[in-house]
Amino acid sequence: MLVYFESTENQRNMKKLIITGCNGQLGREINRLYEGSREYELVNTDFGIEGITNLDITDINACLKLFEDVKPYAVINCAAHTAVDACEVQKDAAYRINAIGPRNLSIAATKTGAKMVHISTDYVFAGDGTVPYTEFDPTGPKAMYGITKLAGENFVKEFAREYFIIRTAWLYGDGKNFVKTMLKLSENHDRITVVNDQLGSPTSTAELAKAVAYLLPTSNYGLFHGTCEGQCSWADFTKEIFTLAGKKTEVVPVTSEEYKEMNPQSADRPKFSVLDNYMFRLTTDHKYADWHDAIRDYIGNYL
C-alpha cells in the first residue's frame, strides 16, 4: 500500500488519488492497476486498519481535513456497508456509511476541486424487471442496502461538482466473495444448493477497475452502469466456476422461496438484477468483457 506525502520531486508532481475502502476487493484491484504509475499517487485510506491512513468517511471534518492536506485530483469511493442482511438491522450504520459517507466525500471533493468517483449497486432497482436496466430507468430499491446506496447516489449528485457514479453487480476479486465461498464449500460437499431464479451479471473487479481508470481522466461525467456483459443465474455461475476450477461438486438449483425457507433471516434479493452498460455504449468506446471470459481469467490468474 502506498502512503501519501512522499517527498521526491516526481511524486510532488503526480496526481493524488484518495482511495476509500482500499482494503476491499475493488480497492485492492485499484491498487494493482495503478501500481508503478508515473502519473498517479495513491493515498490509501480505510477505517481502523493498522498501517493504512485512517479515514472515517462518516465524519465530515475528517474528510475535509484529509482533502485539504492531500489536495487530490480525485477520490475513488470503494467504501460501503455491503452486508445486505446486516443492513436490514443496522440501518443507522448503513445510512452513515452508504449515504452520509458519499455526501461528506462529495462536499470535500467540491471544496478542493477534486473529481468524485462513487461505486453504487444494482440493488437500487426493484429487481422485478425482465429486460436489462439502463441508467434512465426508474429506481425502486426494496432492501435497506439498496435504499441507502440510492441515498448515497443522490447526495453525490447534489454535492459533487464533477462526478462519476458507476453501478455494478455481483462483484468478485481479491477478498471475500461468492466465487471463493463456492469453491470453499466444494471442498467438503458433494452437492450444494444454489438459487436459480435470480439473474445478474457476474463482474470482476479487474473489469470494473479498468472502467474507472478509463473514465477518470475524462470530463464524461454522470451516471454509468458497469458490469461484465451477459447474464446468468447464481446456479449457472456456480456451475461455470466449478467447471473452470475442475470441481466435481453437484449444483442443485433451488428457487428464492426455497432458499428463504432454509435461511429465513436473509433479506430479499432482486430476482432480475441485469444492468445494461448503456451510457458506456452511448458516450464511449469502452467495452466490458463477457462474464464467461472474466471468470475464466480470474480462476486462472488470481486463485
Which amino acid is present at 239? K
pLDDT at 111 over 50: yes
pLDDT at 12: 66
Domain enclosing residue 21, as ranges? 9-177+201-230+273-290
**Is 243 domain-assigned?**
no
All three cell numbers of 16: 493524488
The pLDDT value recorded for residue 266 is: 74
Domain harbouring 142, CATH code? 3.40.50.720
Mean pLDDT of 155-182: 97
User: What is the predicted pLDDT for the residue at 10?
Assistant: 54
- 30 occurs within a structural domain: yes
- Active-site residues, by number, are 145
249-299 pLDDT, tens digit each: 999 999 999 988 888 767 788 999 999 999 999 999 999 999 999 999 999
Q: Could you tell me if residue 190 is inside a domain? A: no
Question: Which of 121-125, 163-167, 250-254, 260-264 shows the lowest per-residue confidence on average (mean pLDDT)?
Answer: 260-264
> How much is the pLDDT for 259?
87
**Is residue 8 predicted with pLDDT exceeding 70?**
no
**Residue of 242, 264, 263 lying closest to 251 (CA atoms):** 242
| Total number of domains constituting the chain | 1
> Does residue 1 surpass a pLDDT of 50?
no
pLDDT of residue 261: 86
Q: Is residue 112 part of a domain?
A: yes
Q: Tell whether 114 is covered by a domain.
A: yes
Q: Per-residue b/e over 45-79, b at no fewer than 16 CB within 10 Å?
A: bbbeeeebbebbbbbbebbeebbeebebbbbbbbb
Nearest to 78 by CA among 185, 179, 152, 12: 152
pLDDT digits (tens, 9 = 90+) for 45-79: 998 787 788 999 999 999 999 999 999 999 999 99
198-240 residue pLDDT tens: 999 999 999 999 999 999 999 999 999 999 999 999 999 999 9
Question: In the predicted model, what is the mean pLDDT of the chain?
Answer: 94
- Whether 184 maps to a domain, the answer reads no
3-state secondary structure the chain: CCCCCCCCHHHHCCEEEEEECCCCHHHHHHHHHHCCCCCEEEEEEECCCCCCEECCCCCHHHHHHHHHHHCCCEEEECCCCCCHHHHHHCHHHHHHHHHHHHHHHHHHHHHHCCEEEEEEEHHHCCCCCCCCECCCCCCCCCCHHHHHHHHHHHHHHHHCCCEEEEEECCEECCCCCHHHHHHHHHCCCCEEEEECCCEECCEEHHHHHHHHHHHCCCCCCEEEECCCECCEEHHHHHHHHHHHHCCCCEEEEECHHHHHHHCCCCCCCCCECCECCHHHHHHCCCCCCEHHHHHHHHHHHCC
In this predicted structure, the answer to whether residue 197 has a pLDDT above a threshold of 90 is: yes
Report the share of the chain in percent with pLDDT over 70. 95
Q: Are 77 and 67 in contact (CB under 8 A)?
A: no
More confident residue, 122 or 10: 122
Residue 245 has pLDDT above 60, yes or no: yes
The whole-number pLDDT of residue 303 equals 66
pLDDT (0 to 100) of residue 269: 87
301 within some domain: no
pLDDT at 9 (0 to 100): 52
Rounded to the nearest angstrom, the gap between the alpha carbon of residue 275 and the centroid of all alpha carbons in its chain is: 14
